Structure 1
């Protein structure tokens, strides 16, 4: 199977204006507020290991973003149904001691197609894409310009695979009909800091033969709003 349909729910708070970097605060607030409902909201499991924490290492099914200054929650799959259930319970948002009454909120719930397509689609990164991890960051720093482009392209393809595989699609790269095509065009790298750790992020766009939903995140820290994409064509 190379295509499927998944539910996606998007909740926005149009009367509240925040900064892009406040996305992780949204995640912390809602994760605490509804922590008894599901680990999907904060990527922590309820039981603890010897270190006191267990994490859900998988594509995040609930994501927190600030898009065009608007606080935005995106749920996919199980996360989509969860946000529908919690929608009416959201009466306020409290960040850094500031209480934001929720005067209005919008919800969109739909089924979207994902997976390989006969057409090409172009997406832009609306928030910084964290395209490098510790390992390939070192390789990137030492690489030629052409090698750097290859590293980023391979990472972008891997990000897409991670997303589609989270919803049961298995693409065998040995089968020509399963091959993900991708052309990536990035801006110059920018340094962003999260939890006192510096990350190298990129803007830009990519064209691919994979159909992806608007406003999902790809790459590192997708749950906190990084790597959010939208369709350009």
Structure 2
């Protein structure tokens, strides 16, 4: 078997981008139930829907099928191969879902597919990111010990750039050029529920030269709705 070759460096990368928003409303905390209902509908053998390989093994890497809430409506966001796999859900006899024991008859409120050109823009692009898990237990302690807002902003900026590079790697984009990020102010921290734990999340605006598609996730637990980004303006 030939070793996998690293993709050549490129200033841009075209990716497939799919968005489906359902017609019913639910809370963001119900996303795990929505995700589980979709997985049950298509079957656990379709690994991209849940990234579990069995026996406590996981498919690591950037998730190509992600579950979100957009304007209180549940949504499925797919990238590249995920846009092909998601057809297995839509070819079902119906799209009814059972979420936490409640059966819901669903329709699609919005659906779109496009080819998005990721790249480095000569002009800055403004984004907002919601429920961003930037810190684990270890780096939260380090972050909290920093003395100034400027130091904390710089730490978050570096983590965000790392999250962007993880996305790029997940879509086989070997970025040719410097990723620039500015965070204008230190965001407020808030506690977010995740797997029976309370973790620190951030909502913040940032500016970057990296062009990213709406509604994808950055950071930890993106498949469960965290770190959702959207362009501003």
Fold conserved between structures, TM > 0.5? yes
Instruction: Give the unaligned 5+ runs of structure 1.
Output: 173-177
Matches within 5 A, 1:66-145: 66-89=69-92, 90-125=94-129, 127-144=130-147, 145=149
Residue in 1 aligned with 2:6?
Answer: none
- The residue aligned with 1:223 is 223
Aligned match of 1:25 in 29, 33, 43? 33
**Structure having the larger proportion of residues in strand:** 2
1:41 corresponding residue in structure 2: 49
SS of 1:149 mapped into structure 2: helix
Q: 156-165 or 102-111, which moves further after superposition? A: 102-111
How far has the Cα of 1:36 moved from its partner?
Answer: 4.3
Q: What SS class does the counterpart of residue 127 from structure 2 fall into?
A: strand
Distance (Å, rounded) in 2 between the aligned partners of 1:91 and 1:84: 12
What residue is the counterpart of 2:20 in the other structure?
Answer: 11
Any stretches of 5+ residues in structure 2 without a counterpart?
1-9
Runs (4 or more) in structure 1 with deviation over 4 Å come to: none
CA deviation vs aligned residue, 1:82-127 (integer Å, no higher than 9, x gap): 12343232521111111110144532111111122222111112x3
**Cα offset, 1:167, TM superposition:** 1.4
- Whether 1:212 aligns to 2:215 is no
The farther-off stretch of 199-208 and 100-109 is: 100-109
- How many residues are paired up? 221
Give the distance between the partners of 1:84 and 1:107, measured in 2 at CA.
12
Contact map agreement 1:128 1:202 (CA 8 A) in 2: yes
State the TM-score, normalizing by the size of structure 2: 0.89
Normalising to structure 1: TM-score of the pair? Answer: 0.89
Instruction: Give the superposed CA RMSD.
Output: 1.6
